[in-house]
Structure 1
Amino acid sequence: MSADAAMPGGAVAPRIWIGFAAMCLGMFMAVLDIQVVATSLPAIRTALGIPAELMSWVQTAYLIAEVIAIPLTGLLTRALGMRRLFVGATGIFTLASLGCAASTGFATLVAARVVQGFSGGMLIPLVFSAVFLLFPFRLQGFATTLAGMLAVLAPTVGPVVGGWITQTTSWHWLFLVNIVPGILACAVGLVALARQALDAPLLRSLDTAGLALLALCLASLEIGLKEAPQRGWLALPVLALLAASLVAGALFVRRMLAGGAPLVELRTFRDRGFAIGCALSFILGMGLYGSVYLMPVFLAFVRGHGPLAIGMVMLVTGVTQLVTSPMAVALERRGSARLLTLAGFVMFGAGLAMSAFSTRETDFDGMFWPQVVRGGAIMLCLLPPTRLALGRLAPEAVPDASGLFNLMRNLGGAIGIALVDTVMFGRAPIHAEALKQRLLAGDTSAAELVGLPPDALSGPVTTPVDPAIEAFVRPLVEKAALVQSINEAWALLAAAMFVGCVLALLAPAADGRPGPGPTH
């Protein structure tokens, strides 16, 4: 912290809080943008005449650029300084949002989304770095809570915002809503954040070959995970993409460990607290992004709700998180990070497991308590692992480490969604066939499961089924099969959270207290 930011008694100057709030606003915008656009892809597709098979690239382009940018944030922070990087990234994100709104076709929209994703991807690790670089230990818990709450709240309120915009105005406003907050965040950050010297030699020493390997590794992984559920994990294109990711990743790691000026400081993984914290961040990403993905799928395809109605159901998680955050902060400041992490992952896993017993009639009431449990657990799954990962690192190591820590959560989300899709695509036809055979055998419990009255079956079916009856029953069977496969996906995510419980027990007892002091 700069001298002019210090106040009597070790307090933090108001302008530091104001600058940090501007950084949090920029981060919230970037995270919210992903979910807002995801819920409104059909509206964009119709407006721009984009072929159905290309529509998912509007999201994939953003996500690929984002995961490439996240690990580069540490180097760019050291080279440009926090103030310059934040204002630049937020400004580019805002201009790219304007470019998205002005797009007239698929190519221009995807190009703008790439720029948007790359600039927005830097904002999350930048904010979490600021927690440990701007604030003394006693305030880091509160600052982490503020940042973490906004980072996980954005996906929850995204469907509400996206649904409301889609239903009340044009698709352009999905992007134009970023303009005013972006300008405000840039202006406040420019005034409130401390100036830092530009490290031009570090920029000139940028390892372009290493950057190309990193981009190839992460882009191939993202595309491979996207294609695997539909094509099959053993399909040649998927295997080629995953192999390319593996080879490029291995070459990148070798290059980074060889010395010189690495893009990403991978030696930080030698710290047990950081390594376990990153693993926990990866697992949290699976559960967090997987659950935010599964709920709209269930509510849209099983319950038939629109984007706005889906968002209103999902608000329960966000509201619970807001209500329980002060308690999480108090516990994090006084309790063991290892034990609090264990409690958080147990709760989150339990909340996921509770959703694994859904039926075709489950709606707001049936989703209420599982969301309450998960919402109450989120901050315990985020705050203590952040402390474990970053709390005892040297200040100069924090920017790189923050990028890696946040990258792991995004990769966990990508892999979690791919596994969820695999379960749904792979298991739903199997369940549908099993239900069909049970109905043909006269199983009344199967009839009840798909929504038929028990007396609809009078015994085993021995004659060909009337086509009209088959046309009526088939959608019911498919919906019931989808519910069963979604329940299995919930169970898979719950199992991942319980693996996190084991990792929490392996975390070091020294959990990052008192942590590094502010440095600038």
Structure 2
Amino acid sequence: MQNRPDLPHSAINPQLVWTGFMAMCVGMFMAILDVQVVATSLPTIQSALDIDPDQMSWIQTAYLIAEVVAIPLTGFLTRFLTMRWLFVTSLTLFVIASAGCATSSSFGGLVSWRVLQGFSGGTLIPSVFSAVFILFPKERQAVATTVAGVLAVLAPTVGPIVGGWLTETYSWHWLFLINVLPGIAAALVALRSLPREDINTSELRNLDGLSLVLMAVSLASLELALKEAPTSGWISVYIVTLLCLSTASGCAFVWRSLHRTRPLVDLDNFRDRNFLTGSILSFVLGIGLFGSVYLMPVFLAFVRGHNALEIGMTMLVTGTAQLVTAPIAVALEKRVDARLLSAAGFTVFAIGIAMSGFQDPRSDYDAMFWPQVVRGAAIMFCLLPPTRLALGRLSPDKVPDASGLFNLMRNLGGAIGIALIDTIIYTRSEPIGRTLLARLQAGDTDAATFIGVPLQAIADHKGALDQKTMAMLDPLLQTAATVQALNEAWIVMAVLTGCAILCLPFARPVAPAE
């Protein structure tokens, strides 16, 4: 491989390798954390910059679209810039864009900087996972993957508490300014520590511009469609047009990639059964991971009325459980087949998701504790073994492209999962509300208990609810209907997560990491 150090692993200074890798992990953590800390403080930013409520979501959408376009380009950019210069350049641009966001005084300026921030941040995540299999010998890959995996899934967990604390203690500008000093430090450390290689300018001369345009159009239109479909309707002209555009450009991109000697993205990786299986698992993990991190703040904010700081404190349980079980995951990675660990991980993760599908309007920290513990304990087993399954058997020259595709699948799974959740909430809340009202009028005590209506009040009216009583019940009914819709979303996610294990028999056996 041209962009890989010629020295064998044993000849590379292990201390420098670990130092450089940890710097890369810091950059990845910042990129993932940025999405969450900004999400918790959007109302504050909207008020400060006088942004129209209909436009507010573009602060996040601009970042996510740019990120999803950048992720599959990681392989090409690694071959062109080398791993060292790709990371240093991307992190430098990320820091500059963060400072630009913090100094923005208008909506347009903020969105423009968010595009650059998302594109530069999008390459940091797959770069870290490809570095695991390029920089480290096999016996160290399990530990390196664990370090990267812990930070990758810890960032969304601590994001709400960090965002809430920064906004309440300082100002929204610090949501972006916190990236500056750590980013500069990580870039300098990586520049000093990562292996030095020559930039390969021939890759730039062979860049397939048409494939780049087709891929960007396909992914951007898909991301837009998934964002708008729950509110606009899946069969609206706007959404159907976006989906058709995404499909047409995506098919053209795939055809062109498969028929070129040097494609922009090496889709031949999907011919490998283990990579395909690992990518499916990554996609499903995206649904469950991003979906659960999305559902909990929705419930805690709109049903329980908690602020961002309180939400973050509640969600720390998942991160704590994840950190506690990480050493166990590393130990088992060295001894057990990745397929068996993946099956166990996704089974337990599905159970943890399903446990949250039985909440009522009064559920809070205590009711959410054990479901979070179960999910947190399972996350590392849903991330480490599938990563080894997907990337561990590939030749080093294929790893950068494969890592980009592997991480893209997780992000697409998250986008589709959130779109599915929003669709369930928007379409199911109203009919569920009518059903609960009918049960209440029929004197159903279970419905009254779930809604939070005193049983004596129902008994006094004997099913005939007057206008005054209905006015009192309406907010309770709406909240209860929302909670039940959220419960249905949890159950749907649990079923989809559990179905992931069906693809595991198609993968070839993978030796333990040791």
Per the shorter chain, which TM-score range?
A: over 0.9
Which runs of structure 2 are paired with 1:72-87 in the superposition (5 Å)?
A: 72-87=73-88
Task: Name the amino acid aligned to 1:76.
Answer: L
Paired with 1:279 and 1:357, the residues of 2 have a C-alpha distance of 28
Task: Name the amino acid aligned to 1:164.
Answer: W
Paired with 1:31 and 1:196, the residues of 2 have a C-alpha distance of 27
Aligned 8 A contact 1:340 1:384 in 2:
yes
Task: Name the amino acid aligned to 1:27.
Answer: M
Superposition TM-score, scaled by structure 2 size: 0.97
Task: Name the amino acid aligned to 1:274.
Answer: F
Task: Name the amino acid aligned to 2:323.
Answer: L
Aligned 8 A contact 2:9 2:135 in 1:
no
Paired with 2:77 and 2:71, the residues of 1 have a C-alpha distance of 10
Match of residue 509 from structure 2: 509
CA shift, 1:506, in A, is 2.7
Match of residue 112 from structure 1: 113
Match of residue 200 from structure 1: 201
Paired with 2:263 and 2:6, the residues of 1 have a C-alpha distance of 31
Paired with 1:268 and 1:4, the residues of 2 have a C-alpha distance of 26
Match of residue 163 from structure 1: 164
Q: How many residues align?
A: 511
- In the superposition, relative to structure 1, how do residues 286 and 511 fare at CA in structure 2: closer, same or farther (>3 Å)? farther
Aligned 8 A contact 1:338 1:511 in 2:
no
Match of residue 390 from structure 1: 391
CA shift, 1:512, in A, is 7.7
Task: Name the amino acid aligned to 1:502.
Answer: L
Write the deviation string for residues 199-242 of structure 1: whole angstroms up to 9, x where unpaired. 11111221111111000000000000001111111111111111
Paired with 1:512 and 1:37, the residues of 2 have a C-alpha distance of 39
Match of residue 97 from structure 2: 96
Match of residue 476 from structure 1: 476
Aligned 8 A contact 1:5 1:12 in 2:
no
**What is the SS of the residue equivalent to 2:301?**
helix
Aligned 8 A contact 2:358 2:487 in 1:
yes
Task: Name the amino acid aligned to 2:275.
Answer: F
Match of residue 410 from structure 1: 411
Task: Name the amino acid aligned to 1:505.
Answer: P
Aligned 8 A contact 1:87 1:189 in 2:
yes
Paired with 2:260 and 2:18, the residues of 1 have a C-alpha distance of 37
Aligned 8 A contact 1:5 1:15 in 2:
no
CA shift, 1:95, in A, is 0.2
Paired with 1:142 and 1:6, the residues of 2 have a C-alpha distance of 16
Match of residue 280 from structure 2: 279
Report the more deviating stretch, 178-187 or 455-464.
455-464
Aligned 8 A contact 1:338 1:384 in 2:
yes
Paired with 1:2 and 1:45, the residues of 2 have a C-alpha distance of 47
Aligned 8 A contact 2:29 2:151 in 1:
yes
Superposition TM-score, scaled by structure 1 size: 0.96
Match of residue 58 from structure 2: 57
Alignment pair present for 1:42 and 2:43: yes
CA shift, 1:452, in A, is 1.0
Match of residue 357 from structure 2: 356
Write the deviation string for residues 291-323 of structure 1: whole angstroms up to 9, x where unpaired. 000000011111111000000000000011111
Match of residue 518 from structure 1: none
Aligned 8 A contact 2:440 2:463 in 1:
no
Which runs of structure 2 are paired with 1:218-229 in the superposition (5 Å)?
A: 218-229=219-230
Aligned 8 A contact 1:429 1:481 in 2:
yes
Match of residue 149 from structure 1: 150
Match of residue 497 from structure 1: 497
Match of residue 376 from structure 1: 377
**What is the SS of the residue equivalent to 1:261?**
coil
CA shift, 1:44, in A, is 0.4
**What is the SS of the residue equivalent to 1:171?**
coil
Paired with 2:157 and 2:13, the residues of 1 have a C-alpha distance of 31
Aligned 8 A contact 1:141 1:383 in 2:
yes
Unaligned segments of structure 2, at least 5 residues: none
**What is the SS of the residue equivalent to 1:114?**
helix
Paired with 1:471 and 1:86, the residues of 2 have a C-alpha distance of 58
CA shift, 1:513, in A, is 5.9
Aligned 8 A contact 1:63 1:117 in 2:
yes
- In the superposition, relative to structure 1, how do residues 268 and 462 fare at CA in structure 2: closer, same or farther (>3 Å)? closer
Alignment pair present for 1:231 and 2:232: yes
Task: Name the amino acid aligned to 2:455.
Answer: P
Paired with 2:9 and 2:279, the residues of 1 have a C-alpha distance of 32
- In the superposition, relative to structure 1, how do residues 393 and 5 fare at CA in structure 2: closer, same or farther (>3 Å)? closer
CA shift, 1:150, in A, is 0.3
Task: Name the amino acid aligned to 1:191.
Answer: R
CA shift, 1:441, in A, is 2.8
CA shift, 1:446, in A, is 2.0
Paired with 1:233 and 1:379, the residues of 2 have a C-alpha distance of 34
Task: Name the amino acid aligned to 2:471.
Answer: A
Match of residue 178 from structure 1: 179
Paired with 2:511 and 2:225, the residues of 1 have a C-alpha distance of 36
Match of residue 368 from structure 2: 367
Paired with 2:131 and 2:65, the residues of 1 have a C-alpha distance of 24
Identity %: 57
Write the deviation string for residues 24-81 of structure 1: whole angstroms up to 9, x where unpaired. 0000000000000001100000000001011001000000000000000001001110
Alignment pair present for 1:438 and 2:439: yes
Task: Name the amino acid aligned to 2:426.
Answer: F
Match of residue 517 from structure 1: none
Match of residue 488 from structure 1: 488
Deviant stretches of 4+, over 6 Å: 459-464
Alignment pair present for 1:338 and 2:339: yes
CA shift, 1:402, in A, is 0.3
Aligned 8 A contact 1:391 1:512 in 2:
no
Paired with 1:276 and 1:141, the residues of 2 have a C-alpha distance of 19
CA shift, 1:281, in A, is 0.2
Alignment pair present for 1:27 and 2:28: yes
Paired with 1:168 and 1:76, the residues of 2 have a C-alpha distance of 39
Write the deviation string for residues 83-131 of structure 1: whole angstroms up to 9, x where unpaired. 1000000000000000000111110000000000000000010000000
Match of residue 424 from structure 1: 425
Paired with 1:378 and 1:513, the residues of 2 have a C-alpha distance of 18
Match of residue 307 from structure 2: 306
**What is the SS of the residue equivalent to 2:261?**
coil
Aligned 8 A contact 2:336 2:512 in 1:
no
Aligned 8 A contact 2:345 2:379 in 1:
yes
Paired with 1:265 and 1:350, the residues of 2 have a C-alpha distance of 36
Paired with 1:35 and 1:274, the residues of 2 have a C-alpha distance of 29
Unaligned segments of structure 1, at least 5 residues: 515-520
**What is the SS of the residue equivalent to 1:457?**
helix
Aligned 8 A contact 1:68 1:118 in 2:
yes
